[in-house]
A and B are shown apart, each in its own frame.
Chain A
Amino acid sequence: MLNISPFRMVLIWLTVAVGLLLAMPNAFYGKVESYNDSVVATGSGEGWPGFLPSGLVNLGLDLRGGAHLLAEVQVEDVYQTMIDVRWPEVRDALAAERDTVGFVTREDSPEGVLRVRISEAAGADRALQIVRGLAQPVQGLSGAGSSDIEVAANGPVLTITLSDAEKAGIDERTMGQALEIVRNRIDEAGTREPSIQRQGDRRILIQVPGVGSAQEVKDLIGTTAQLTFQPVVGRTSDPSEDQGSGNELLPDSIQEGQYYILEREAVVTGEQLVDAQPAFDQNSRPAVSFRFNVTGARAFGDYTLGNVGSLFAIVLDDEVVSAPEIISHIPGGSGIITGQFTIEETTGLAIQLRAGALPAGLTFLEERTIGPELGQDSIDAGKVASMVAGVAVLLYMMAAYGLFGVFANITLIVNVGLIFGLLSLIGATLTLPGIAGIVLTIGMAVDANVIVFERIREELKTAKGPARAIELGYEKALSSIIDANITTFITATILYTMGSGPVRGFAITLALGIITSVFTALFVTRSLISIWFSRRRPKTIEV
């Protein structure tokens, strides 16, 4: 079986060719990078042929320089706000039944708990009933079916807490909102390829290449977007139209060429908004429901009472997101925005509304800044080290195995190329330990070849002729190679799952290195030997 079928041969070399083609752009890193940038910016790029692959290995922060922050979102902040806004509702509901429950006062309570005392203890049962009646089903997928508050009575004191399902819902929304805000803020700064990821239940991992310090990123996140609700004076398509004193002209965020003239003074601002969620109106059309805090609710209620029928603009960062019509007086501080929305749009708008300001404080658990010079030094050092390591291994293999060593060396070069090709293909990130992983792979990649060659040597001793020896060598070495590499692959997988950042980068290169080195040793080296053997038909071989 030394001969490999032509079909297999083509398949093997095609794989190699595709792999190397994918790796090739990395050899022209600067050129391809600027090409890719211009494609993103203008839609067409120059300086690199468009028909060639242009995927690159991303450089990790430790190689490119930049900031890495791990922030924890203080979701408890939100529990407090969400329970606070229930107080007016509870008070009004109980006040309507003053005859049975008496006067209602709010008591001091621990964080996240609303405690209410009624003056007529005998009315406690009725009060409990009323307040429980205020509970609403939890929105969202996770807690469907359960209500949002839990009410308990202890004599004349009612204790109202958020249910676990509601808390879980709040956690989800808060995290989504915090992620959105952080992402918006960092995107505005226009740095290249920032990565903002949720990590675990309450954490956000922020990685921004190319910034001078982690502090810059923190400053960026800290600035709040301005969300306001402003009365609409008129609509226009002429940006130079005279807006009149006390008014301002702002563009529509979606429709280009559409402008609104608004009263400059906002009725309510984003700081007073506590919640916004995708919902449906009476006719089951997608809408966005929102809720203000106490002061916001009063201002909003007063304004809507006096201006039914007029337009009310929602302005985010000096752009009009939406200008719905006030259909009726909205007294409770909550309402819905209707319009020609799709469900996706309402979800997006809800997030944008909530994204006005960070919903909860961020605590930074980890901050790392790597200077670009240090990263460049590491790249340079890594390059030199890989080359020296590569040349040393090549010479050594040639000295040890002669012609077969040369085959192994060609394979080794193909192998490194394939690693880069795969890294580019999956858009993986190369880190400093990742470079170490490649150097380690250079050392270990020859292992599979070594196992085979040593085996061939042994088989040659029993004098079955060279073709049979080579064949047996591959056959008998297979189980060793597979077992040895699967075990290493297991550790690489664990490294990837448990590790983060640079360590993960290392795990990826190690794992890819294992795959490519097994492939190259079993197929590429073998096909080289096969080609050589069928041409020369040597009577004896020396390995």
Chain B
Amino acid sequence: MRLRLVKDDTHIDFFKYARVWLGISMVMILVALASFFIQGLNYGIDFQGGTSIRTEAEAPVDVAAYRAAITPLELGDVTITEVFDPTFADDENVAMVRIQSQEGTESVTAGTLAEVEAALQAVDPTLTFTATESVGPKVSGELIQTAFIAVALAVLAILAYVWLRFEWQFAVGAVLALVHDVALTIGIFSEIQIQFDLAIVAALLTIVGYSINDTVVVFDRVRENLRKYKTKKLKEVLNVSINETLSRTLMTSGTTLMALIALYILGGDVIRGFVFAMIWGVVIGTYSSVFVATTVLLVLGVKRDWSKKDPSAGTRYAEIDA
């Protein structure tokens, strides 16, 4: 007996509720954009500048006492949050102290840092500082620019590749699906205010990579079926293709999600945000490959007679032998 996520022979009509799906996607993107422009992202120090100190103490974290100790130093905006994690031992009480970037200096001066550490240690002598990071406004500005360029470049490169390997309609479909995924990921980070730092940008790019991977597998089958069923309606060809690849789509998403969930629960708090972005991206990416990319293809229409116009068809190098 084999474990099957989907039945062997499915005939689901994925376009029956195409308008509903598109509507949902549109609304979600609008919500994401609104949230991004109204509330904004909760930028980490990578992108905003400032200093973050990770503290670890034997006694429970007392945020109020920490704050009371730091306030007299007049460092401007100070955020203190307690960090919870199932991997922590009982005497491992972790907090993050974040200080805004100080005027006139690039990174926090040694003196200031020593003062903050001394003030906190007065509250709890068992306190240790397991990580201290300080980023100046100059670098953080550049980092955010680089991040933006990186994501844009990735999307453009994929647009070009898919265009070369398929047809422009496929490229547009794939890229719209990617934009959809990126927008929704940024949206959820803005909506629930998870810290957005460099690692999240890496996650974003990975989502782009994963989502396109999924989309390309579906597209590849569409291309094959377009050659096979020359008279079938495009909608039916798309449906057949999605159904045929559905088992693989869900199987791969399943194994990837399993690995990611293990990492989310057991991987520690340092990369939890990163892993969260990835899990969200895999779910959204799978959805968009099945619903968004193919619907775009259906709307744009595609060239049908691949076999006749393509003189190299059937003799392509890739098909001769693995």
Contacts and interface: CB of A to CB of B under 8 A. Distances in A.
Given A483-B216, A487-B212, A488-B209, A374 B270 contact: yes
Interface in B214-228: 214, 216-217, 219-221, 224
A522 B154 CA distance: 26
A457 B321 CA distance: 20
Contacts of B87: 377, 381
Interface stretch (B14-22, B35-43, B187-195, B271-279): B271-279
B3 A400 contact: yes
Interface of A: 1, 62, 70, 72, 213-215, 218, 363-371, 373-374, 377-378, 381-382, 384-386, 388-390, 392-393, 396-397, 399-402, 432-433, 435-436, 439-440, 442-444, 446-447, 450-451, 454, 457-458, 474-476, 478-480, 482-488, 490-492, 494-495, 498-499, 502-503, 506-507, 510, 522, 526, 542
Contacts of A218: 110
A383 to B, nearest CB: 9
Given A484-B216, A522-B322, A491 B107 contact: no
A373 B131 CA distance: 10
B113 interface: yes
A479 B161 CA distance: 14
A428 B22 CA distance: 44
- Chain B at the A interface: mostly helix, strand, loop or mixed? helix
Interface string B291-302: 000000000000
Given A366-B136, A479-B220, 13 more contacts: A214-B132, A366-B107, A436-B278, A440-B259, A444-B210, A454-B247, A454-B251, A487-B161, A488-B213, A490-B154, A499-B201, A503-B199, A506-B199
Interface string B244-276: 110110011011111110110111101100110
Nearest to B275: A436
Nearest to A454: B248
- 10 closest A-B pairs by CB: A443-B256, A443-B259, A381-B268, A491-B209, A389-B259, A498-B150, A371-B130, A389-B262, A399-B3, A488-B209
B62 interface: no
B157 interface: yes
Contacts of A366: 107, 134-136, 139
Contacts of A442: 259
B254 A396 contact: yes
A399 B153 contact: no
A101 to B, nearest CB: 45
B205 A495 contact: yes
B216 A506 contact: no
Contacts of A492: 209
A507 B153 CA distance: 15
A401 B219 CA distance: 24
B255 A396 contact: yes
B161 A369 contact: no
Contact of A397 (B138, B210, B255, B270): B255
Contacts of A502: 198-199, 202
B198 to A, nearest CB: 6
A149 B24 CA distance: 67
Nearest to A394: B255
Of B138, B221, B268, the most chain A CB neighbours within 10 A belong to B268
Contacts of A506: 199, 202, 206
Nearest to A368: B133
B202 A503 contact: yes
Given A367-B133, A444-B252, A491 B154 contact: yes
Interface string B88-116: 00000000000000000011101001000
B128 interface: yes
Contacts of B290: none
B220 A443 contact: no
B209 A450 contact: no
Contacts of A443: 252, 255-260
Contacts of B132: 213-214, 367-369
Given A389-B262, A494-B150, A451 B217 contact: yes
B149 interface: yes
A433 B199 contact: yes
A386 B219 CA distance: 32
Contacts of B304: none
A15 to B, nearest CB: 16
B252 A447 contact: yes
B126 interface: no
B17 to A, nearest CB: 25
Nearest to A392: B258
Contacts of A378: 268, 270-271
A439 B139 contact: no
B262 A446 contact: no
A269 to B, nearest CB: 28
B150 to A, nearest CB: 4
A390 B263 CA distance: 11
Nearest to B208: A491
13 contacts: A70-B139, A72-B106, A366-B134, A373-B56, A382-B267, A382-B268, A389-B260, A392-B259, A397-B255, A433-B271, A479-B319, A480-B221, A491-B206
Nearest to A382: B267
Nearest to A458: B244
Contacts of B210: 444, 488
A458 B110 CA distance: 66
A455 to B, nearest CB: 8
A363 to B, nearest CB: 5
Contacts of A385: 262-263, 265-267
Contacts of B245: 454
A174 B19 CA distance: 63
B154 A400 contact: no
Interface string B1-21: 011110010000000000000
B64 interface: no
Contact of B263 (A374, A393, A439, A457): A439
A498 B206 contact: no
A209 B82 CA distance: 27
B107 A365 contact: yes
A313 B153 CA distance: 57
A440 B256 contact: yes
B202 A450 contact: no
A388 B260 CA distance: 10
Given A365-B107, A393-B255, A433-B202, A494 B271 contact: no
B158 interface: yes
Nearest to B316: A479
A374 B130 contact: yes
B168 interface: no
A498 B208 contact: no
A366 B252 CA distance: 39
A474 B318 CA distance: 11
Contacts of B146: 498
A169 B220 CA distance: 54
Contacts of A388: 262, 266
A442 B135 CA distance: 33
B309 interface: no
Nearest to B85: A381
Contact of B161 (A447, A457, A486): A486
Contact of B213 (A373, A436, A487): A487
B150 A474 contact: no
Contacts of B217: 451, 480, 483-484
